[in-house]
Chains A and B, each alone.
Chain A
Amino acid sequence: MPTNLAPAPDLLAVVREFLEAAILRDAALSDDKLFNLRVAVNLLATVERELRLGPMANAGEAKRLTALTGVEGSIEENNRRLARAIRDGAVPSDDPQLFEHLHKTIVDALRINNPKWIDHTQLP
């Protein structure tokens, strides 16, 4: 890549911080714009985390899916296979290995989408 001096997560971070500092504190914004801007800033933070954590999370999910389905396939294909197997009863829904896989996958997704959800401290 010719122009990677500032890596993508850094670009996102700087844009997000700018929006937070320059616009989010603008008292003239209407409530609905302020709300949507706050959500948008949170989405930028999600993309930042996905860029940093996504590859590792996907690799783990792919490996576990292959172990569960016995098929080397894309995450999407194997999720489809696994969902079908659970519905048909081919993989029992109370299978411990399945549970561990689902739990790890969801925790990894939350580390990207909303890390606070898995923190033990809840109130700020």
Chain B
Amino acid sequence: MSLHAEVATKLREAVARLLGPPGDVFDLRRLTAGATKPTWTFTAQIGDTRQALVLQTSTSASRPAGDTAQGARARLPVLTGKESAAVLLAAGKAGVPVPAVRAVLAPDCGLGEGYITDFVPGETIARRILREPRFGALREDFSRQCGEILAGIHAMDASSVAFLAPMDAARQIALYRDVYDSYNYPVPALEVAFRWAEDHRPPVARTTVTHGDFRMGNLICGEQRVQAVLDWELACFGDPVQDLGWLCMRTWRFGGAHPVGGIGRCADLFAAYERASGMAVDPAHVHFWEVWGSIRWAVMCLIKGLAHRSDGSQPTVESLAIGRRMEEPLFDFLEFLREERSARITS
């Protein structure tokens, strides 16, 4: 049986059981998004209505350590399907636009870890959002909306997601260095980068829920508004400013000329965030997180390019292509460094 047929069969049983009979599944389609975790869209017959839904599966591995031939390997904390669903519920309660969770998969559904949400119509592909005329109004307002949504995420109730890992700057830098070291693939530029990060680490100011991967590509966009924030697997407790820095990275501009997702201005993002959160934004603080973002993304690319060598996973066209992207953020890092040095010389 093909993967598609197998998922269709199991999904029908899961829908009938968790959401209501008969559960017939139509138009089951695997989406391109989600390098690590397959996402499927489908329509299901539930009672008298046909409903557009999404099946989000996730990697079952969670939390530090997992044994490999080389011993315990440092791992990035990635949320399980059940935890992601809990985060989505908490986000929804805080007024953050997210897909409504309809059901969490049970182990005996046979579909792995994951959950089912309502389908949110809109576009996630940056290339289209940046260029198609129909998104003109969204582009004008994108920074402001992101500022407000981020303020909402950072105001989420911590007690309902107490399982999130604490991940301040120091811990994050140490963890990513461990992960990098565990691949035994020394990159001189990364050595300079980690040294920079350790020397420039901002003091802990505030700790909140943070999304961890808030960026163009993980946002479902309508023609007027950001409709939903996706991909919460890297959520943690940390410095909220990291989400602002990550959003502004060149990598997530997809060739666009402006810092915020390629289409918006930082000043609008910061002003909206300040209004909604009541917290002042220090651009130098955001800058640290943007630079750290380039280092973090370089490590993520390295993991993608090397994972199959150590964990026996099947390399994919996509994973190896991401591995070849490691120099993009390293180039950006060196440019940051050059600017910093020339500023020091002229001052």
Smallest CB–CB gap between B304 and chain A, Å?
12
Chain B residue with the shortest CB-CB distance to A42: B321
In the bound complex, residues from chain B placing their C-beta under 8 Å from that of A32 are 30-32
B191 touches A106 (CB 8 A): no
In angstroms, Cα B338 to Cα A114, docked, is 21
| Contact residues of B between 144 and 197, Cβ < 8 Å to A | 186-192, 195-196
In the bound complex, residues from chain A placing their C-beta under 8 Å from that of B191 are 83, 86-87, 93
B256 touches A122 (CB 8 A): yes
* Contact flags B247-263 to A (C-beta < 8 A → 1, else 0): 00000010111000000
Of the listed stretches B71-79, B227-235, B329-337, chain A binds B329-337
In angstroms, Cα B325 to Cα A32, docked, is 20
B311 sits at the interface (CB 8 A): no
Smallest CB–CB gap between A25 and chain B, Å?
17
B339 sits at the interface (CB 8 A): no
In angstroms, Cα B334 to Cα A18, docked, is 38
B37 sits at the interface (CB 8 A): no
In angstroms, Cα B323 to Cα A114, docked, is 12
B189 touches A106 (CB 8 A): yes
In angstroms, Cα B314 to Cα A9, docked, is 27
In the bound complex, residues from chain B placing their C-beta under 8 Å from that of A43 are 317, 320-321, 324
In the bound complex, residues from chain B placing their C-beta under 8 Å from that of A30 are 29-30
A109 sits at the interface (CB 8 A): yes
A118 sits at the interface (CB 8 A): yes
In angstroms, Cα B250 to Cα A77, docked, is 32
Chain B residue with the shortest CB-CB distance to A40: B317
A110 touches B31 (CB 8 A): no
Secondary structure of the B contact surface, majority rule = helix
Q: A110 touches which one: B29, B30, B257, B327 (CB < 8 A)?
A: B327
Q: B188 touches which one: A31, A40, A83, A94 (CB < 8 A)?
A: A83
In the bound complex, residues from chain A placing their C-beta under 8 Å from that of B29 are 30-31
Instruction: How many A-B residue pairs have C-beta atoms within 8 angstroms? Tell me.
Output: 92
A124 sits at the interface (CB 8 A): yes
A80 touches B318 (CB 8 A): no
In angstroms, Cα B10 to Cα A62, docked, is 55
B93 sits at the interface (CB 8 A): no
| Contact residues of A between 69 and 124, Cβ < 8 Å to B | 79-80, 82-84, 86-87, 93-94, 98-99, 101-103, 105-107, 109-110, 113-114, 116-118, 122-124
Q: B331 touches which one: A42, A94, A106, A123 (CB < 8 A)?
A: A106
B187 touches A83 (CB 8 A): yes
- How many residues in A have their beta carbons less than 8 Å from beta carbons of B? 38
Chain A residue with the shortest CB-CB distance to B190: A83
In angstroms, Cα B325 to Cα A42, docked, is 12
Q: If A39-B318, A39-B321 touch, does A110 touch B331 (CB 8 Å cutoff)?
A: yes
Chain A residue with the shortest CB-CB distance to B186: A83
Smallest CB–CB gap between A108 and chain B, Å?
9
In angstroms, Cα B254 to Cα A117, docked, is 10
In the bound complex, residues from chain A placing their C-beta under 8 Å from that of B31 are 31-32
Question: Could you list 10 further interchain pairs (A-B, Cβ under 8 angstroms) beyond the known A39-B317, A101-B188?
Answer: A30-B29, A31-B31, A40-B317, A83-B188, A83-B190, A83-B191, A113-B327, A116-B255, A122-B256, A124-B255
Interface residues of chain A, those whose CB is within 8 Å of chain B, are: 30-32, 34-36, 39-40, 42-43, 46, 79-80, 82-84, 86-87, 93-94, 98-99, 101-103, 105-107, 109-110, 113-114, 116-118, 122-124
Interface residues of chain B, those whose CB is within 8 Å of chain A, are: 29-32, 186-192, 195-196, 253, 255-257, 316-318, 320-321, 324-325, 327-328, 330-331, 334, 337-338, 341
